[in-house]
A and B are shown apart, each in its own frame.
Chain A
């Protein structure tokens, strides 16, 4: 069976939708007009994923303003709206969650997370959420004396959000944890105790929580943490092959590995043969049976037309990879 292909985060909006949202912001278009277009594009994206043979279908989160926003808006003890911060090394920004009280789950509106109606016919639904470590790292803590207490409370709250989304039919949860591997914000590499703290928080979100989980890392080299990640009680681990030093990997795993094989930060569309060949070389290093082909992170960093071409390249590469097995 050829590797599954999955969306790995927020998909870009089309030029038409972009123009409508701009017009909405200038009060020249009603929100209902934006919604109609948003629904149409979501349907088109679902159709595209199905036509390309995706095993898990995502709605592309086209309405999300940033990767943290729906979680931010579902938590008590957090304020936002006064400060924008850069999303890692991209030219995109997110509203920084400001922790001003004890974090707990607030009112969860599933509509803020996904287009439940449009996904109604899909059995295997995937959603991408920030993991507890990344969410707490990217927040500004003005309340907790000790960071671990914040991390624990975020994890507890996120666990509840996931339960609610599971009840809405989501079967696969990608928890994105770029902060586990993205180093430049840090003066020193995170020590073992911090890694253990982060992994413990992830465990507390996923253990005995219905649904399947993938922990996705990106924008950094996953190789120093790879073996620890493989120990997590999750279905899969995702790594960014544009950043990870594959030559230093030699593990064997029964887990699914989600390979970031197309670059969400570059516009050239990777050749399907190159993608398949890169995946083959990866498997020479790591003994793994189950692979998923994906972009290395959200494709929102490229225009939609290019993002769709990258998905097509992944689909073609998946076939080529299978043919060569």
Chain B
């Protein structure tokens, strides 16, 4: 793409009520009223025909399929309306969430129950009860719908193997180890579990996606920065390189919310990631909410230097918008706090992009995106945030004539 500062989504959007309810039970016309309202905003011209079909069908599977297809269409159109250049898979409407969606499709794994993530957010954690393999395609059916409806470029975010393993209990893999200490057994179990996930689950999935026409796969690996020990980072690199081996599509890594050490360790290992064309990273979360392109105003972006210093030469997907609850203060020209949301002004987005450009040195290497998926934000907030990212990217572009 020749345009400077193209805008991309990173992954998920909130799931509308009608989508969630409609997968469990038949919907009424009233249930679809919100969808009707958004149909107008997003230009879904055939909404009434689709709604009629959804309301008419008595078959649960048919209804679920139509609802997932429709919510994917809505997600894609929301991104388009906001002016996003790469629309991903329309906000991951066909997935439960990034972890559980995959684990449910893995033979040998069982979901044990929910554990705390933060505040009132939880995730359903799985355990390996036997050797793992893929039960069925995970992302390919969704991609076929995306391909059918997307008007712009798309990429397929998938959950990376390192994260899948790190967020799971090792169960079968740890109990079969005979290492000398509990720690040694954990390390051995993780490697065996991880390489099985790569070979038996993730690579077959990528093959299916590539066969279906996917040209860009974003591998989400939020867990990697949680283990900055050298043996863990080397294991991550080994798994990444095994994952992408032999495929010719574009690959990018998305890693967010690193542990205390920040991105420093990932930066050190990033040049060893084969075929990694882009790193999409979270920065806005740790940045100030005031304008400026000086180091103090843009303190959240200082970790970018580590990647440049370490010799990573690919693109950066720059997190320029916060995706979680915000209860801090924001200067009036940098945006506004609306309830628990921060709406970044285009000028703040611009300054973040321009500051990053100073560090990276080449504006052509910088994409603009939210820190992470926007699944915890209401659609109107997501639309506004994304539209402001788009406007901010335009302002940054103007700087370069």
Contact = CB atoms under 8 A, between A and B. Distances in A.
B48 interface: no
B182 A263 contact: yes
Interface string B157-171: 000000000110111
Contacts of A86: 225-226, 257-260
Contacts of B117: 91-93
B114 A303 contact: yes
B52 interface: no
B257 A84 contact: yes
B1 interface: no
A90 B229 CA distance: 14
Interface string B303-329: 000000000000000000000111110
Given A83-B286, A84-B324, A86-B258, A185 B114 contact: no
Contact of B112 (A65, A93, A267): A267
Interface stretch (B23-31, B78-86, B121-129): B121-129
A304 B116 CA distance: 11
B35 to A, nearest CB: 18
Interface of A: 12-13, 15, 18, 21-22, 24-25, 65-66, 79, 81-86, 88-95, 137-138, 184-186, 241-243, 245, 263, 266-268, 300-306
Given A82-B328, A303-B112, A65 B119 contact: yes
Contacts of A184: 227-229, 259, 261
Nearest to B182: A242
A88 B118 CA distance: 13
A267 B169 contact: yes
Contact of B113 (A79, A91, A95, A303): A303
B257 A93 contact: yes
B115 A301 contact: yes
Contacts of B285: 83-84
B223 interface: yes
A14 to B, nearest CB: 9
B61 interface: no
B148 interface: no
A85 B260 contact: yes
Given A82-B328, A185-B261, A242-B183, 20 more contacts: A12-B115, A25-B120, A82-B327, A83-B285, A86-B225, A91-B226, A92-B115, A92-B116, A93-B117, A93-B257, A184-B227, A266-B170, A266-B174, A267-B127, A267-B171, A268-B169, A268-B175, A300-B116, A301-B115, A303-B114
Residue from B114, B115, B167 whose CB has the most chain A CB atoms within 10 Å? B115
A91 B166 contact: yes
Contact of A91 (B119, B123, B327, B328): B123
Nearest to B127: A267
21 contacts: A12-B115, A22-B120, A25-B120, A65-B119, A81-B327, A83-B286, A86-B226, A88-B226, A89-B226, A91-B226, A185-B261, A186-B261, A242-B186, A245-B181, A266-B186, A267-B125, A267-B127, A301-B116, A302-B169, A303-B112, A306-B113
